[in-house]
Chain A
Amino acid sequence: MKTNIDSIIEGQKKVFDLWAETTKNMAGTLAGGLPKDSGKEYWDEWVENQKKYWDAIINRDNLQNAFQGSPDEMRKWAEAQTEFAKKWMEFYNENTGKYGFKNPGFSIDNTGMKSWQQWMEQNNPWIQQNITKNLPFTQQWNLLNYKDLYESFTHYWEYLSKMIEFGMTEWDAIGRFVTPDAYREMVGKFMGYKPAKNVDELIKQTNEVFEKNIKLFNQYQVNKDWPEQWSKMTHAFLEGHPAASYTTLMEINQNINHGIDKFYNLAGQGREVEIARILKDIQFTYIAFIIRSLELQNKVFEVSQPALSKTLEILNKEYQANKTAPDFQVFFNQYINNLEGSLLNLMNGAEYATLQGELSKLAATLKGKMDKVFEMTLEGTPFLMKSFSDEVAKEMAALRKRIRDLELRLSKVDHPVAKAKSKTTAKS
């Protein structure tokens, strides 16, 4: 009866046969051809080893259990694979080279697990799963984010390596292959930002919110210029000239918010009105957060572009000197060093610090308001609310202080060692 392992080996044999046949046919078209049965000895040896090691773990019900339960056997199996791959590649290089084939449909580069990602995924998804499993929850996200990031860069590697080779280091040239939006997204991943490709979407959503509010506002004839001004701003955003607009956007946002706020005073008092007012505040705080967030992301993006150019320049010089194309990992390491340098320069300025401070304030304010709305919505239900526990915490703090004051006064009149000694004396 055929086992799973037999099926695996049979499949691999078919691939090998196909490769051998193709190579033979191609070689046959040239003078000399390949020797008959080329590579057969490697194949036979490999099959033998495969069977031997797979038999040792055949009783396991699935691959993961096999990995977990038989690490030693798996290691031996992988070693056999390695040995075979080595011989295969040597054989391939030696024979096809003779007939002028460099990469006839089979690229060593593509199967060579050249990158981190290939190591993590193509070679053994099990490794990735088990590393992730052993990481704390918050760190798992970081690893997965990094995986996406790496994938994005490897996606563009073919172009980037050509740019290095041909000295295409200016953004006019780079941008034809790596679009600014795609690059913005990659840089955003380094920083843990929301994907920057959604910028347009965010602006559109924000625009809709504003248009609704502007309509409401216009009913009261406060400022008729705003809709036009707003429209210009959003167009500037979408046409890729956002920097000049951020401050104006913030001002408009604040003005509309304060203007609308007055109408809530007219609406009377009560829980519903208060909830409505906080919801309105959340809306405007969120818009402000998006504007500031975009401004900060834009600053990061601006300094990150020269970092890529600089990396390509450095590697191009090396390429010119030794005519050897760099490995992807060499590029990646060089790039993140350059990018970090540029970012730290930016972050070391008062402008960035102010913007970051404002952003963190907006984020915290947003959270505070949302908590408040939740609490108000749940008022009257049998849940312990934050504001109630706040009172308990205040009471506790006051008690803690009074006790400490008493203890300090006590310790000043009675040194701890003197107390200990007097207790010892009394006992004896």
Chain B
Amino acid sequence: MSTDFIERVNTANEAIRHLSEIEEIDIATAPRETVWEDGKVQLYHFIRDTPPSAKTPVLISYALVNRWEMMDLQPNLSFIRKLLEEGLDIYLIDWGYATGIDRYKTMEDYILGDIHECVEFICRRHELEKINLLGVCQGGTFSLIYAALFPELIKNLVTTVTPVDFREENGLLFLWAKHMDVDAIVEGFGGVVPGDFLNSGFDLLKPMNKARKFSNLPKVASNKDSLLNFLRMEKWVADSPAQAGETYRQFIKDFYQKNKLIKGELMMGGEKVDLKKIKMPVLTVYAKDDHIVPPSSTIPLHDVIGSKDKELLEFPGGHIGVFVGGRSQKLLTPAIAQWLIDRD
């Protein structure tokens, strides 16, 4: 027992020291510039020290749920910094924070409007006919739709932890969404669905995670790096933007409830979205232990696209681990970069 006591006192000592030293919890520190903007939406170009080894730039389309900063939480474990280090030229769309004025913003506005304008801008800037598109989670679903509608503008497509098949057997979110009255929710929240509402749903997927997280806090706090990483993650989790009501309504109804994308029934801007029209090389990254977008909702993409050059890449971890953590740095990010460089 005395050893236990001593360990705990030492842990407390370290926590005191580390907490005293923390002045700011900084995330998203990779240098960048805004090269295009339209209202709240901004296109960032990440600044490189050296010329890229691949001539085709990559546009990252993140989800509307939560913020893109997760891909650059801390300098030594940053997905974006690693892609830069591997020789890629990176652009990223920051969707901003939806407010009341965005309540009627639709998926068409995001995909046919914002993504399309960003793609065109980058094409013009680099005098290229096509660029690479990398989609993350819901942003991956958007990327698929875009690539199916504008295949002539996309050279290579990478989807990461992207839901494609929304059958309810695929997991709790898929089941719950089937029983959700999305009209009542959008109307009740005045057309803008709060981020906290979404987060409460994500929390329930692993209801004891908060207890585990805080239970482990003394150990985490005894190491400055761990403590800072913990606080960075907390900052990111809490920074959860609201959802434009019309887009949320459409995403729940057409995707989660009617599974239109994989059935080939989805309409976008008056056109049917046919995934067979995706013929460019496609890399599908999924996480083996993903409880938010399980592999069973991601892998079916492989069978429904028209591409001959297509690859499935399994990451041994969870949804967030794809972008944060040592395994992502060592295994996944270099593999994605190499796949793109090989097809440059």
Chain A positions within 8 Å of B, measured between CB atoms, are 67-69, 71-72, 74-75, 78-79, 81-82, 85-86, 89-90, 108-109, 111-114, 116, 118-120, 123-124, 126-127, 130-131, 134-139, 142-143, 146-147, 149-150, 190-192, 329, 332-333, 336-337, 339-340, 343-344, 347-348, 350, 353-354, 356-358, 360-361, 363-368, 371, 386, 389-390, 392-394, 396-397, 400-401, 404, 407-408, 411, 415-417, 419-421, 424
- Docked Cα-Cα span, A360 to B180, in Å, equals 8
Chain B 231-255 interface 0/1 with A at a Cβ cutoff of 8 Å (1 = within): 1001101110000001000000000
B312 lies within 8 A of chain A by Cβ: no
B116 lies within 8 A of chain A by Cβ: yes
Asked if A119 and B218 make an inter-chain contact with CB atoms under 8 angstroms apart, the answer reads yes
A-B contact pairs, 23 of them (CB 8 A): A67-B16, A67-B20, A85-B2, A85-B6, A90-B2, A112-B2, A112-B4, A116-B215, A119-B12, A119-B218, A124-B15, A134-B231, A136-B238, A143-B214, A190-B211, A336-B211, A344-B172, A365-B188, A368-B187, A404-B108, A416-B120, A419-B124, A420-B124
Query: Are A367 and B179 also in contact (CB < 8 A) when A116-B217, A139-B237, A393-B102 are?
Result: no
* Chain A residue contacts of B12, Cβ below 8 A: 78, 119, 123-124, 127
A316 to chain B, nearest CB (A): 22
* Chain B residue contacts of A85, Cβ below 8 A: 2, 5-6, 9
B330 lies within 8 A of chain A by Cβ: no
Chain B 73-88 interface 0/1 with A at a Cβ cutoff of 8 Å (1 = within): 0000000000000000
Chain B positions within 8 Å of A, measured between CB atoms, are 1-2, 4-6, 8-17, 19-22, 25, 100-106, 108-109, 112-113, 116-117, 120-121, 123-125, 127-129, 172, 175-176, 178-181, 184-185, 187-191, 196-197, 200, 203-204, 206-208, 210-212, 214-215, 217-218, 221, 231, 234-235, 237-239, 246, 269
Q: Which residue of B lies closest to A408 (CB)?
A: B112
Further 20 A-B residue pairs, CB within 8 A, beyond A109-B1, A130-B20, A400-B105: A67-B20, A69-B20, A74-B13, A74-B16, A108-B2, A112-B4, A114-B1, A119-B218, A147-B214, A336-B208, A337-B208, A343-B208, A344-B207, A364-B184, A365-B188, A368-B187, A401-B108, A401-B109, A404-B113, A408-B116
Asked if B103 and A390 make an inter-chain contact with CB atoms under 8 angstroms apart, the answer reads yes
* Chain A residue contacts of B10, Cβ below 8 A: 78-79, 82
Query: Are A408 and B123 also in contact (CB < 8 A) when A131-B19, A134-B22, A368-B188 are?
Result: no
- Docked Cα-Cα span, A419 to B211, in Å, equals 57
A125 to chain B, nearest CB (A): 11
A385 to chain B, nearest CB (A): 11
* Chain A residue contacts of B117, Cβ below 8 A: 407
- Docked Cα-Cα span, A201 to B131, in Å, equals 62
Query: Are A364 and B238 also in contact (CB < 8 A) when A85-B2, A357-B181, A400-B109 are?
Result: no
Query: Are A389 and B234 also in contact (CB < 8 A) when A72-B17, A113-B5, A348-B172 are?
Result: no
Which of A68, A339, A390 makes the CB contact (< 8 A) with B20? A68
In order of increasing CB-CB distance, the 8 nearest A-B pairs are A364-B188, A136-B238, A397-B104, A357-B179, A368-B188, A71-B17, A340-B208, A130-B19
Q: Which residue of A lies closest to B238 (CB)?
A: A136
Q: Which residue of B lies closest to A394 (CB)?
A: B104
- Docked Cα-Cα span, A190 to B123, in Å, equals 50
* Chain A residue contacts of B121, Cβ below 8 A: 416
* Chain A residue contacts of B100, Cβ below 8 A: 386, 389-390, 393
Asked if B176 and A353 make an inter-chain contact with CB atoms under 8 angstroms apart, the answer reads yes
Asked if A78 and B185 make an inter-chain contact with CB atoms under 8 angstroms apart, the answer reads no
Asked if A138 and B196 make an inter-chain contact with CB atoms under 8 angstroms apart, the answer reads yes
Which of A71, A146, A416 makes the CB contact (< 8 A) with B123? A416
Asked if A146 and B211 make an inter-chain contact with CB atoms under 8 angstroms apart, the answer reads yes
Which of A112, A358, A416 makes the CB contact (< 8 A) with B5? A112
B176 to chain A, nearest CB (A): 5
* Chain B residue contacts of A416, Cβ below 8 A: 120-121, 123-124
- Docked Cα-Cα span, A312 to B9, in Å, equals 30
Which of B172, B197, B207 makes the CB contact (< 8 A) with A190? B207
- Most chain A beta-carbon contacts within 10 A, residue among B211, B235, B237: B211
Asked if B20 and A114 make an inter-chain contact with CB atoms under 8 angstroms apart, the answer reads no
Which of A71, A113, A365, A417 makes the CB contact (< 8 A) with B129? A417
Asked if B238 and A357 make an inter-chain contact with CB atoms under 8 angstroms apart, the answer reads no
A69 to chain B, nearest CB (A): 8
B108 to chain A, nearest CB (A): 7
Asked if A116 and B176 make an inter-chain contact with CB atoms under 8 angstroms apart, the answer reads no
* Chain A residue contacts of B238, Cβ below 8 A: 135-139
* Chain A residue contacts of B231, Cβ below 8 A: 134-135
Asked if A350 and B179 make an inter-chain contact with CB atoms under 8 angstroms apart, the answer reads yes
Asked if A333 and B109 make an inter-chain contact with CB atoms under 8 angstroms apart, the answer reads no
* Chain B residue contacts of A123, Cβ below 8 A: 8-9, 12
Q: Which residue of A lies closest to B212 (CB)?
A: A336
Asked if A192 and B200 make an inter-chain contact with CB atoms under 8 angstroms apart, the answer reads yes
* Chain A residue contacts of B102, Cβ below 8 A: 393
* Chain B residue contacts of A72, Cβ below 8 A: 17
Asked if B124 and A86 make an inter-chain contact with CB atoms under 8 angstroms apart, the answer reads no
Q: Which residue of A lies closest to B14 (CB)?
A: A75
* Chain B residue contacts of A108, Cβ below 8 A: 1-2, 5
Asked if A119 and B11 make an inter-chain contact with CB atoms under 8 angstroms apart, the answer reads yes
- Docked Cα-Cα span, A114 to B16, in Å, equals 19
- Docked Cα-Cα span, A411 to B269, in Å, equals 15
Asked if A396 and B112 make an inter-chain contact with CB atoms under 8 angstroms apart, the answer reads no
A331 to chain B, nearest CB (A): 12
* Chain A residue contacts of B108, Cβ below 8 A: 401, 404
Q: Which residue of A lies closest to B117 (CB)?
A: A407
Q: Which residue of A lies closest to B206 (CB)?
A: A340
- Docked Cα-Cα span, A371 to B91, in Å, equals 40
* Chain A residue contacts of B189, Cβ below 8 A: 364, 367-368
- Docked Cα-Cα span, A368 to B14, in Å, equals 48
A173 to chain B, nearest CB (A): 25
- Docked Cα-Cα span, A371 to B190, in Å, equals 8
B319 to chain A, nearest CB (A): 16
A185 to chain B, nearest CB (A): 15
- Docked Cα-Cα span, A340 to B206, in Å, equals 7
Q: Which residue of A lies closest to B181 (CB)?
A: A361
* Chain A residue contacts of B25, Cβ below 8 A: 134
Q: Which residue of B lies closest to A367 (CB)?
A: B188
Which of B5, B175, B208 makes the CB contact (< 8 A) with A111? B5
A145 to chain B, nearest CB (A): 8
- Most chain B beta-carbon contacts within 10 A, residue among A127, A363, A386: A127
- Docked Cα-Cα span, A109 to B129, in Å, equals 71
